């Protein structure tokens, strides 16, 4: 590991100033991703600015009935919060489906959203990787890619974003707020991550040195039931090979409102707007759910070893929406 | 850019099992390496060094954490409890006793991490935290019964190469029962995991 300086920020402006003064400085949240990547040499910061003790650790109701979640709230506190469990159950389920109890206690909301891909070539500095070393190539396309992207990828990178939390946030229309030395800003979560194109090393639309300060959720769709379902290669403590966050509001036997987001299929949490459009106003049955999944997955471009994800996601859409329809009818 | 190169080491005071230890650490030092290599507290084990096995589990401010991804310098000011500190003097912690009584191990390498994790699991459950095995996570549904399935899910961050899982689950269940009984006898002494400013029970409908 490269040597580095360490500073603990007392307030937001102090944290921003420290980062601004040193282009090789990075924020440190729980460290569960950054420290891991520093050990393997993927990340080589000259200085860490510890933000864990910033006063951004609250979860508060907003005036319109939504929720504001501070960036340094731990994943555990987020999942356990009564308002989250009551109003956004799929969010609690998504967080609890990720990592382990130990890691969720350490991990912060900001860090979770900015965690890097788990692509094995990215994590191995002896291998080429366009995301780590622009222009060096993407060995995953010809090599090991069974858990890589089927949507929105490019010839330059087929990595997925591994966050479970982000998938539920995408479904609930979360907005990310941040601060820079030039002032504050906001981005819908679905616009936080840049399209891959030929610049897979440029991952987010945040300005350089921006500190994520929190995430705001608008009120959950009225009357909707929600759920997160994750498929992985062992029962627990593993990254997704496919996941789905869904919220469904059925009125008079038709889909009044529906939210769908997919995880582990793209370089960002994938909001399935084509499927939502196909479902809205339509019947509440398995055939309609399958047709909506097909509408979304028509854009899928699987590689030789990850075509199973197309079937997996289609089945997940049908299964989870069917369960939610049953729950809504109760 | 003309920033002076930062100092790459610091003097830190670590509060471990109620005792303060002051040492100078290279910032690269993890809490795990500080404990084992610098402070001679080798009860905390190193398995993967990547957050993937749980062998290095300790409690930070009463919550379980993996010491291999925790920088020592960033642990200053926090209350650190290791396996060396879970017993009360000569009296074993009920979780330790249950692991002994029910053979919750084989080689024992993962055991300190399993025990520290289990101590926290019991507190998390007593505080009403749901898990990925909980059907209904809404607070109105109440805390889920601590079934074997719940224990397996909550303990899934601790791998055991010997596969002693069956008796580990039994040991955690027994310790949890003892804990629940003790809580009934003395309801006020039941500690919830340390709040970190986000507990707004009843703040909104
Ligand atoms: C074994 C293992 C299994 C895991 N399994 C899962 C899983 O199943 N699902 C899942 O979703 N995740 C999983 N994770 C990933 C884990 O959730 C992330 O590592 C964690 O959420 C990152 O949060 P952190 O606070 O520790 O971030 P850090 O490691 O501290 O930081 C990550 C990145 O975010 C930046 N950063 C941190 N805070 C801010 C901020 N406020 N503003 C701007 N930048 C910031 C840092 O500079 C860094 O680049 C797993 C991790 C491990 C080690
Ligand atoms: S998929 Fe992306 S992260 Fe993985 S090797 Fe290719 S360029 Fe690198
Ligand atoms: S050694 Fe820390 S989790 Fe494996
Ligand atoms: S008892 Fe040997 S690794 Fe668990």
Confidence band, pLDDT 50/70/90 cuts, at residue A248: very high
The string of pLDDT tens digits covering residues B105-133 is 999 999 999 999 999 999 999 999 999 99
Among A3, A31, A96, the residue with its CB nearest the CB of B130 is: A96
8 A C-beta contact, residue A165 and residue A91: yes
Q: What is the mean pLDDT of residues B23-46?
A: 98
Residue nearest atom 43 of ligand 1, based on CA coordinates: A211
B50 CB neighbours in chain A (<8 A) are 36, 39
Is ligand 4 within 6 A of the CB of residue B162? yes
Report the distance separating Cα B128 and Cα B116, nearest Å. 19
Report the distance separating Cα A111 and Cα A132, nearest Å. 19
The string of pLDDT tens digits covering residues A56-80 is 999 999 999 999 999 999 999 999 9
Ligand 3 centre distance from Cα of residue A28 (Å): 19
Quick one: angle between helices B94-101 and B165-185, nearest 10? 140
- The answer to whether residue B109 neighbours chain A at the CB level (below 8 Å) is no
DSSP designation for A108: B
Among A30, A70, A85, the residue with its CB nearest the CB of B137 is: A85
* CB pair distance less than 8 Å for B129 and A76: yes
Containing H/E element for B125?
helix B111-126
| Average pLDDT over chain B, rounded to an integer | 91
Report the CATH number that the domain containing residue A9 is assigned in CATH: 3.30.43.10
Q: What is the mean pLDDT of residues B148-166?
A: 98
Nearest to A248 by CA among A238, A237, A261, A257: A257
Report the distance separating Cα B2 and Cα A292, nearest Å. 56
- The answer to whether residue B43 neighbours chain A at the CB level (below 8 Å) is no
Is pLDDT above 50 for B199? no
Is ligand 4 within 6 A of the CB of residue B115? no
B46 CB neighbours in chain A (<8 A) are none
Residues of chain B with CATH 1.10.150.120: 94-185
Helix or strand or coil: residue A178? strand
pTM of the model: 0.96
Residues of chain B with CATH 3.10.20.30: 10-85
A147 within domain boundaries: no
What phi, psi does B4 have (nearest 5°)? -60, 140
Containing H/E element for B184?
helix B165-185
Among B28, B66, B131, the residue with its CB nearest the CB of A3 is: B28
CATH for B94-185, among 3.60.21.10, 1.10.150.120, 2.60.120.10, 3.10.20.740? Answer: 1.10.150.120
From the CA of A23, how many Å to the nearest CA of chain B?
8
* CB pair distance less than 8 Å for A46 and B6: yes
A72 within domain boundaries: no
Domain that includes residue A41, residue range: 1-49
Query: A117-149 burial string, b = 16+ CB within 10 Å, else e?
Result: bebebbbeeebebbbbeeeeebbbbeeebebbb
* CB pair distance less than 8 Å for B3 and A21: yes
Report the distance separating Cα A88 and Cα A227, nearest Å. 9
* CB pair distance less than 8 Å for B3 and A22: yes
Is pLDDT above 80 for B203? no
A269 within domain boundaries: yes
pLDDT, residue B188, reads: 55
Could you say which ligand is closest to the alpha carbon of residue A210? 1
A4 within domain boundaries: yes
A43 within domain boundaries: yes
Nearest to A209 by CA among A9, A24, A8: A24
8 A C-beta contact, residue B58 and residue B65: yes
The string of pLDDT tens digits covering residues A85-104 is 999 999 999 999 999 999 99
* CB pair distance less than 8 Å for A101 and B130: no
pLDDT, residue B198, reads: 40
Report the CATH number that the domain containing residue A318 is assigned in CATH: 3.30.390.50
Residue A3 CB coordination number (10 Å): 14
Is pLDDT above 70 for A192? yes
A146 within domain boundaries: no
* CB pair distance less than 8 Å for B157 and A52: no
Query: In chain A, which residue's Cα lies nearest the Cα of B28?
Result: A3
A102 CB neighbours in chain B (<8 A) are 51, 54, 57, 64-66, 117, 157
CB-based contacts of A287: which residues, under 8 Å, 6+ apart?
none
Question: What sections of A120-272 are H helices per DSSP?
Answer: 165-171, 189-192
DSSP designation for A160: -
pLDDT, residue A81, reads: 98
The CATH superfamily label for domain B10-85 reads Beta-grasp domain (3.10.20.30)
pLDDT, residue A147, reads: 98
What are the angstrom distances between the C-alpha of B177 and each of A15, A256, B64, B131, B156? 46, 46, 20, 18, 20
* CB pair distance less than 8 Å for A101 and B157: yes
Nearest to B157 by CA among B48, B83, B81, B70: B48
Is pLDDT above 60 for A276? yes
Containing H/E element for A289?
helix A286-297
Report the distance separating Cα B190 and Cα B35, nearest Å. 29
A139 within domain boundaries: no
| Number of structural domains in chain A | 2
The string of pLDDT tens digits covering residues A104-116 is 999 999 999 999 9
The two beta strands, A225-232 and A240-251, are antiparallel
The string of pLDDT tens digits covering residues A151-187 is 999 999 999 999 999 999 999 999 999 999 999 999 9
Report the distance separating Cα A291 and Cα A24, nearest Å. 48
Among B3, B49, B157, the residue with its CB nearest the CB of A237 is: B157
What phi, psi does A148 have (nearest 5°)? -100, -175
Nearest to A229 by CA among A156, A152, A158, A313: A313
Q: What is the mean pLDDT of residues B166-185?
A: 93
């Amino acid at each position: 590991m490269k040597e580095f300086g360490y500073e603990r920020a007392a307030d937001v402006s102090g944290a921003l100033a420290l980062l601004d003064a040193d282009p090789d400085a990075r924020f440190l949240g729980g460290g569960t991703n950054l420290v891991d990547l520093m050990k393997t040499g993927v990340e080589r910061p000259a200085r860490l600015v510890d933000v864990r003790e910033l006063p951004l650790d609250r979860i508060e109701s907003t005036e319109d009935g939504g929720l504001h979640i501070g960036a340094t709230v731990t994943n555990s506190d987020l999942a356990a919060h009564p308002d989250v469990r009551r109003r956004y159950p799929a969010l609690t389920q998504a967080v609890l489906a990720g990592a382990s109890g130990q890691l969720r206690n350490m991990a912060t909301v900001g860090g979770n959203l900015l965690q890097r891909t788990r692509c094995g070539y990215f994590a191995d500095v002896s291998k080429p990787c366009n995301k780590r070393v622009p222009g060096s190539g993407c060995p995953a396309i010809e090599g090991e890619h069974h858990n890589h992207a089927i949507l929105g990828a490019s010839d330059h990178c087929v990595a997925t974003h591994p966050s479970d939390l982000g998938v539920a946030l995408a479904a609930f229309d979360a907005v990310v707020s941040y601060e820079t030395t030039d002032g504050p800003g906001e981005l819908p979560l679905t616009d936080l991550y840049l399209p891959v194109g030929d610049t897979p090393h440029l991952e987010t639309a945040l300005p350089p040195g921006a500190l994520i300060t929190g995430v705001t959720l608008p009120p959950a769709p009225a009357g909707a039931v929600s759920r997160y379902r994750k498929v992985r290669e062992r029962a627990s403590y593993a990254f997704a090979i496919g996941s789905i966050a869904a919220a469904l509001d059925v009125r008079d036997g038709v889909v009044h409102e529906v939210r769908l987001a997919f995880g582990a299929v793209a370089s960002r949490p994938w909001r399935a707007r084509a499927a939502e459009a196909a479902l809205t106003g339509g019947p509440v049955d398995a055939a309609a759910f399958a047709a909506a999944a097909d509408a979304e997955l028509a854009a899928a471009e699987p590689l030789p070893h990850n075509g199973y994800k197309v079937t997996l996601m289609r089945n997940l859409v049908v299964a989870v929406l069917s369960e939610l329809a049953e729950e809504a009818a109760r | 850019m003309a920033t002076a190169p930062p100092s790459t080491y610091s003097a830190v005071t670590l509060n471990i099992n109620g005792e303060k230890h002051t040492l100078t650490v290279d910032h690269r030092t993890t809490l795990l390496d500080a404990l084992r290599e610098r402070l001679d507290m080798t009860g905390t084990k190193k398995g993967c060094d990547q957050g993937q096995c749980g062998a290095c589990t300790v409690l930070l401010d009463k919550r379980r954490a993996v010491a291999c991804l925790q920088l020592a310098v960033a642990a200053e000011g926090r209350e650190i409890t290791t396996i060396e500190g879970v017993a009360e003097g000569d009296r074993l912690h009920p979780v330790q006793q249950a692991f002994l009584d029910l053979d919750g191990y084989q080689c024992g390498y993962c055991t300190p991490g399993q025990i520290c994790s289990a101590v926290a699991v019991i507190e998390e459950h007593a505080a009403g935290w749901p898990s990925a095995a909980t059907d209904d996570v809404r607070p109105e549904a109440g805390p889920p019964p601590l079934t074997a399935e719940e224990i397996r899910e909550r303990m899934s961050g601790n791998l055991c190469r010997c596969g002693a899982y069956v008796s580990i689950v039994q040991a955690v269940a027994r310790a949890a029962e003892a804990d629940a009984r003790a809580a009934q006898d003395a309801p006020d002494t039941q500690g919830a995991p340390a709040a970190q400013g986000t507990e707004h029970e009843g703040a909104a409908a």
